[in-house]
Amino acid sequence: MSMENALPISHRQRLWLYALGGLVMLFLIAPSVIIVIMSFSGSSLLEFPPQEWSLRWYESYFGSLEWRDATVVSVKVAVMTAIVATLLGTAAAYAINARTLRLTGLINALLTASLIIPVILIGIGTFFLYARIGLNNTLTGLVIAHTVQALPLVVLTVLSGLRSYDMNQEMVARSLGAGRFSAFFQVTVPQIRFSIVSGALFAFITSFDEVVVSLFISGGETTTLTRRMFNALRDQIDPTIAAISTCLIVLSIVLLSAAQLFGRGR
């Protein structure tokens, strides 16, 4: 550990750098911390630090049918997106990793297209397409749109797992008489399961936090949590959103820690 930093510069000479870096880290983390603290405020003025403490904004969140419905929609869509994107993404990553197919460049470009194409264009385009085939304001439509957004993350995560795995093990299993599928599920999957689970978690959070496309294609009974939050924020700053935001921050922390823990199991 000391070897990698064996430059003859003392920590003292670097104090200014640590101070600067620390300030930027503060800038990055402060908004989340402030929102979490404010969400326990008893007043509707959003003062900081709060003069009195209460859980009223959480009660207002969990007590509201509208917010609860939107949360349920978001959870449903995110779970289904995670499942579909993980299945399709793992299959695609396996095929790409075999490197026997032609047109790999085109395939990669297609699979990662949703990372490059401006999301507003995808939102408008999807709305336009869905209007023709009746998928607007449906769970199916949301899951399909979110799956496309999450797919590149799953492919890249699983691919990095496969790259550090020796595919010959699967070959050995097959030469010993295992079928294609049993070789994959009994030999390969257990060894890349951490990447697959990380990919699934990333897919879940991508779907749960997705705003722009949902703004166009969700509504009515399938209004997602982020769409409702966006509309609420356009009108006024409702402190209930501080409570919802805190829940979302906690969710991010939990999922990231889970991905980290799984990653460490490698």
Residue 161, interface with another protein (CB under 8 A)? no
**136 touches another protein by CB under 8 A:** no
Interaction of residue 125 with another protein, rule CB under 8 A: yes
By the rule CB under 8 A, 83 interacts with another protein: no
- Positive or negative CA dihedral for 133, 138, 144, 148? positive
Buried b or exposed e, range 187-207, using 16+ CB within 10 angstroms: bbeebbebbbbbbbbbbbbbb
* Closest distance of CB 129 from another protein, Å: 4
- DSSP code string of 118-151: -HHHHHHHHHHHHHHHT-TT-HHHHHHHHHHHHH
Residue 234 interacting with another protein (CB under 8 A): yes
Cα separations in angstroms, 1 against 9, 80, 158, 226: 15, 43, 29, 43
Q: Six-digit token pair at 175?
A: 């030469």
C-beta of residue 170 within 8 angstroms of C-beta of residue 180: no
8 Å CB contact between 246 and 35? yes
Closest distance to another protein from the beta carbon of 44 (Å): 12
Q: Does 199 help bind another protein (rule: CB under 8 A)?
A: no
115 binds another protein, rule: CB under 8 A = yes
Task: List the x/- string, 22-61, binding to another protein by CB under 8 A.
Answer: --xx-xxxxxx-xx--x------xxxx-------------
CB of 87 to another protein, least distance (A): 8
The correct pick among 71, 147, 188, 198 for binding another protein (CB under 8 A) is 147
Residue from 15, 55, 72, 113 in contact with another protein (CB under 8 A): 113
3 state DSSP class of 1:
coil
Q: Which stretch, 58-66, 75-83, 124-132, 185-193, contacts another protein (CB under 8 A)?
A: 124-132
As a whole number of angstroms, the distance between CA 193 and CA 51 comes to: 48
User: By CB under 8 A, is residue 69 in contact with another protein?
Assistant: no
Q: Report, in Å, the least distance between residue 30 CB and another protein.
A: 8
The minimum distance between CB 165 and another protein, in angstroms, equals: 16
| Stretch of 51-59, 60-68, 127-135, 187-195 lying at the interface with another protein (CB under 8 A) | 127-135
Tokens for 191, please give them: 């060894």
Check residue 142 for interaction with another protein (CB under 8 A). no
Give the separation between CA 128 and CA 123, rounded to whole angstroms.
9
List of residues 6+ apart from 213 with CB closer than 8 A: 119, 122, 123, 126, 145, 146, 149
Task: For the CB of residue 141, give the shortest distance to another protein in the complex, in Å.
Answer: 9
Q: How far is the CB of 222 from another protein (least distance, A)?
A: 17
Q: Which is nearer to another protein, 65 or 106 (CB)?
A: 106
